[in-house]
Amino acid sequence: MNSSSTFNFMARAIVVLLASLSFSMQASAHTGLKESTPADESVVTSLPAKLDLVFTAEVKLIKLELMGVGHEMPTNFEVSDQTKAAYSIETPGMHPGKFTVNWAVIGADGHTVTNSYSFEVKPES
């Protein structure tokens, strides 16, 4: 192989390597939670009437649990075939305490993503 052929081979190999790295990075970039109200690790002073979840892309929300210490809190969440980027879930019966929101979505790529966040309701004395 002469130096010109070696250079062409190396240039093509680098292009293929960069393209495959770019593809694998895109394939592993799953949808996530962009923001929530109440926010993760926040302390709020008034009882939230709802949870607002905004995702980085349109998703199908397949699970939402609002967990108090040792018990699940009621919500109006129902699984739907609808996909959207923002969800608003009513939370009747909220009370002061620490809460965790467990959620799961199916993204456009068909992968299921699960995660959780926490907040505290602590009314001012």
pLDDT tens profile 24-67 = 334 346 789 999 999 999 999 999 999 999 999 999 999 999 99
Which residue from 100, 95, 105, 93 is spatially nearest to 116, judged by alpha carbons? 100
* Percentage of the chain lying above the pLDDT 70 cut: 77
Q: The pTM is what?
A: 0.76
Note whether 65 and 117 are same-domain residues.
yes
Give the separation between CA 82 and CA 94, rounded to whole angstroms. 27
Query: Which structural domain range is residue 26 located in?
Result: 1-30
In the chain, the number of structural domains is 2
Note whether 70 and 92 are same-domain residues.
yes
What is the three-class DSSP state of 20?
helix
User: What is the phi/psi pair of residue 80, to 5°?
Assistant: -135, 155
Give the separation between CA 94 and CA 49, rounded to whole angstroms. 7
Which residue from 46, 57, 51 is spatially nearest to 103, judged by alpha carbons? 51
